[in-house]
Amino acid sequence: MEALTRGRLAGAALDTFEQEPLDAEAGRRFAGVPNLLLTPHIAGVTEESNKRVSAITAENVARVLEKLS
């Protein structure tokens, strides 16, 4: 994290975490790092879970975009 926040890394994307799924408390450690992209770990998804994760992701993106406008 320090390399990201101090600009030594231009950016990073993470999809695997010590605790999965991330809860609010675990997610707070990544808050405020604009050059960090977090995605769900989907190595073994089923069709149903892929649809659910995609819908949740789209809803979250829409919510953030609404706040920015």
At 16 the pLDDT is 87
| Separation CA 9–CA 55 (nearest Å) | 31
**Model's pTM, two decimal places?**
0.54
| Total structural domains within the chain | 1
- List residues bridging with 38 in a β-sheet: 14
pLDDT digits (tens, 9 = 90+) for 32-50: 999 999 887 766 678 888 8
Q: Are 16 and 41 in contact (CB under 8 A)?
A: yes
- What is the residue-wise DSSP string for the chain? -HHHHTTSSS-EEE---SSSS--HHHHGGGTT-TTEEE----TT--HHHHHHHHHHHHHHHHHHHHHH-
Domain ranges, residue 60: 2-68
